[in-house]
Structure 1
Amino acid sequence: MATAPATTPSDRDPRDPAPLLGTWLTRGREGLLTACTPGEDAVRRWTQKGNGWKGPDLLPAPGVRAPLTVAQGADNYIHLLGTRLTPAGQVELVHAVQLQTGRPLLGWTALGYPNKTDRRTGDPVAAVDGEGRLCVALRNRGSGVSVRCQQTRGGWARWQDLGGVGTRDTLAAAVDGTGLVELFVPDATSIGRYTQEKPGAAFALAERLETAVGSGSFAALASADGTVSLFFPDEEGMIHVWAPHRGQDPRPLLKAAGPGPLVPARLLVDGRDCTVLAQETGGGEVAFAVLPSEDEGEGEGAGAGWTPTAPGAGRGLALALREHRDGGLVAMALPPGGEPLAARQTTGEGGPAFGRWEPLG
């Protein structure tokens, strides 16, 4: 999920700063949270320690440039993706892994780039399947989409070109209850849903939803029953949810809180599975909405509204949500060029409320 409105390939030079993408607030096997953000030739990492945070630790990332894309699977390994320029001036994706909370990275490995090019063509989206394989997808030079996945016994499969034309920069991916990756690819008039028949298999177009998609927010999330829902805005700024596995057409939820990224997370509220959405407002606040998942009555999100909070960090935030080991949520916001701010869920009737935004430390 991107942290800024979509851009075209010509809008951004590979040397320029770019958004922080993916699940950059993660939780380890022991329940401790980790936040990773891009730095100068380094990844800046904060690790939860007691009621506070340790960091930032500077993890070497020579030549690696933003966007920093972060993904985590059921094995709790943290996967980091960035870009760098080769000596020949070509762009390449690079990948590193953290196997355990607070431990060093294993090192950066080059993945190449679809349709070799000297300019970035899109922001990568990444997901880890049920067997621990990372899958990476991004818009390619032909404005279609290319995917590359790890293999079970090490190494990487070749780039798979899924075709397409006019693809938006912002893609979405999630892992369903069987451990398979689902990929959602928007263009100006439709959304393509790509799936796998079995773990490690190639991706194929499962269906195409004819709908006009607005720019910016685009996010996928697996529900309690293992099915994947897609959240996306229309051209008027209304957020819709599409749950194809549940046989549901897209349904309107609520108006977008603002132009910022849409970040979803699951949470039990009074014993009921809910989806919590976070989004930056036009004024630089962070707004939260709580939607009952898989509602068989009026529909998911019926009557939902936004509750704004003010982190005081300005505009252009990267946002993250993660459940902590006590069962509540931690929200995190990273302002451009600044330090992360965190707010922890407090007790509140009818859903989560968040306390004050505080710097890590």
Structure 2
Amino acid sequence: MALRSVRRSKRGTGEARETDGLSRRTLRAVPSLPVDPSLPPTTGWLLRGKDGRLTAYAPGPEGVLRWTETRAGGPEWTGPELFRAPGLVPYLAIAQDSDGYVQLVALRRTPAAGGEITTEVVQTIQYQSGRPMRDWYALGTPYPQDRALAAQIGLPAAVVDGEGSLHVFVRNAGGGVCGRSQVPNGKWNKWADFKGSGMLGLPAAAATDHGLMEVLAPTDDVVMRWTQETAGVKFQRAADITASAANGSVTSERTGRERLTHFWRDASSGTVHAWRAGMDPVALGGDGGSGPVALLRTPVDGRDCTILAQRGKDGRPAIAAYPTEDETAGADWTSTGEPCVGAPALAIDGNGRVVLAAFSADGSLRVTRQKAETGLAMGAWTRA
């Protein structure tokens, strides 16, 4: 059954004009995921909207795929819906603000005159669960006059600050980091060069409760880091973290008042490590795995806990939890469900339950929810 496509009548407004077309439709068959196994997977793709409904996002062969709960807490879902995006590299950076708006950022490559390729960072936004997305908006690259250099930039990272403004970061042609920031009135500053060198490919960005941002970028032997002293000021280079983090494996969680804890996978062993300012990296056990670690901070039996999920060494989702900022307690990993592709994701549903989601090899969305028992007991997996 075809769905109506959506186009924004004015960029920057929340109103939409719906027309018949091909930019959005329901798929009759779910495509195999991932589309390009050479690209690093991403987590953070399962988000709860203001109405309590969860939405899952994934890059597809023709654009963005989306699944949405029919009501808060599930268990039924709609989708996958396809939002066509020609030329989109199948990787999404995803960020959400306090109003529930979801920002999707990607890299787009399209043919240009003379057989050349135009590379640009693009962004779209979804205002409400199940509603249309805006047309993709081009943010360009740090090299607006040089297509050859623009083609060398890496995949984007994205974060929303305390004022709801989006910030985007990429590896530049020299192996450092460049970023472009939105300001509260919706306009965009120019691309800024953060310097640095030797970056492996994919930066990571996160913000504290009050919107202070941090940017991390792994190299072969250190993780470069940039921070803000106060909101609205330029980033400054902080001390490097001595660690060998696998490319695309860095994720972060707010674990204290104005504190972020960063997690990554050791490049050689695959073991998950945790780090925050003032401590050495701590290994969190397990037999290793692949991709970034999904993170969620929530009470378990009344105790503040950090929950982690990963694609384990056996290819199955694995989940663990420990008291927040007590890494010495260790994390006992439990494998669950069938083998998955990419990286799993975590969220809290409209009924307050922990939800673990993953994509099967056939591209279908699989979900398990916390049971009404003590501890972190998860129920049977279901297909969305």
Which TM bucket (shorter chain)?
0.7 to 0.9
Displacement of 1:227: 0.9
Match of 1:3 in 2: none
Aligned residues, how many?
338
1:127-166 alignment to 2 at 5 Å?
A: 127-166=159-198
1:284-323 alignment to 2 at 5 Å?
A: 284-295=315-326, 300-313=327-340, 316-323=341-348
Matched, 1:124 2:156: yes
Shifted more, 31-40 versus 83-92: the winner is 83-92
1:178-189 alignment to 2 at 5 Å?
A: 178-189=210-221
Distance 1:15 1:170 in 2: 16
Shifted more, 207-216 versus 320-329: the winner is 207-216
Matched, 1:112 2:140: yes
Return the letter of the residue paired with 1:36: Y
Distance 2:360 2:201 in 1: 21
* TM-score, scaled relative to structure 1: 0.86
- The sequence identity of aligned pairs, in percent, is 39
Distance 2:41 2:314 in 1: 20
Distance 2:287 2:206 in 1: 21
Matched, 1:52 2:76: yes
CA contact (8 A) 1:267 1:328 kept: no
Match of 1:38 in 2: 59
Displacement of 1:197: 3.1
1:139-288 alignment to 2 at 5 Å?
A: 139-215=171-247, 217-234=249-266, 235-244=268-277, 247-288=278-319
Cα distance change of structure 1 residues 92 and 215 upon mapping to structure 2, 3 Å threshold: closer
CA contact (8 A) 2:348 2:354 kept: yes
Match of 2:10 in 1: none
Return the letter of the residue paired with 2:52: G
Return the letter of the residue paired with 2:379: G
Q: After superposition, give the CA deviation of every residue in 1:53-104 in whole Å (9 maximum; x if it has no partner).
A: 1122232424323112221122211001122224431211110001111111
Match of 1:95 in 2: 123
Cα distance change of structure 1 residues 19 and 52 upon mapping to structure 2, 3 Å threshold: farther
Distance 2:38 2:131 in 1: 26
Distance 1:137 1:336 in 2: 30
Shifted more, 235-244 versus 106-115: the winner is 235-244
Long gaps (5+) in structure 1: 1-13
Distance 1:308 1:27 in 2: 25
Structure 1 or 2, whichever has the larger Rg, is: 2
CA contact (8 A) 2:294 2:343 kept: no
Cα distance change of structure 1 residues 60 and 239 upon mapping to structure 2, 3 Å threshold: closer
* TM-score, scaled relative to structure 2: 0.81
CA contact (8 A) 1:224 1:273 kept: no
Shifted more, 33-42 versus 72-81: the winner is 33-42
